Structure 1
């Protein structure tokens, strides 16, 4: 039994070596490599189809200048999906439950979209800070509010991903502990709890996929405003 439910979010170490490095690098080894032959197996075919569908949906609202981000955004989504799903396995660690790592993804990419907007179209980018038709007395207040909302965007990206995955892991831990404790005392209740636990696990798999998609989708929306 763990002393605290939040111990599962501490970065594990073995022989003084932090295992978070392995958890971060492992997903790259799980992607199928391109093969020199024409025929591919079912796994690569499904992966290519899903990747093409996602990239097409993500790049359609963007102009041609934003299509340069296709490889980066698609790779980021596949990477986040792999980390999130692998973190649901027993005796594993989920790096995306660490706010520092998520902010490391969110802040540089958000800042890149802002810099691109200021470089390519400074007037339109600064125009987002003041909606058209704003009454003169409200101009200073709205500029301050829009500036704060602009700088909150990377924080919201990182906190959203961290909070959703952390809450899911806590619920899984609570239900698993409940099944373990209730099994010798109330077997019928334990079986019912185990059924709910199974459904919750399926829900967390969906959350792991959706949160990776939402993270990249919001980045593409920020990019769309600045190109």
Structure 2
């Protein structure tokens, strides 16, 4: 059951949707899929003229000249065609540049009453404090339906081998967290109490090591016996 979606749909029906929402999403959750599901309860049209989807192309971050950002300012000039609200969904909002974020602050303050803007960002990523302070924060429900818990995790003979593998990824810190999270879930699903206890103890020391900014190799060595 998606209580958040039901609550927002009720607010939409009553005309009480807020102007700006910051929707954080946990690991394994597809924010765009959630938004499409939310909209499907409002309109059956896949490409509705009252809905604007903003996504990055090949850019590392949104810039003033990014097509999606330019489209936002153009979209604001028109009234709603059919729906009670015109919706703007900005994916990867944590990658808004500082300049774009500051420009959007003015948009937030002057957003017409018939507009509703959603900013989507991973749960562990922050936006500018000034942006976050102007949005109502919500957390999307975690979607684990596509997670294959029986799929084998990559095996590494040592922490050195794991660190070398992580360095090849685009975001090694995120991949490190993902590897640890999936390893913990698999351990918990095994039902082996001693194995779970040992894993949790290792993670406790790993967290302390991370808090003291120890090297990646030193942190991950704690997970290898």
Specify the TM-score bucket, using the shorter chain as the normaliser.
under 0.3
Q: Which has the bigger relative contact order, CA under 8 A and spacing at least 6?
A: 1
Which one has a larger percent helix, Structure 1 or Structure 2? 1
Which one has a larger percent strand, Structure 1 or Structure 2? 2
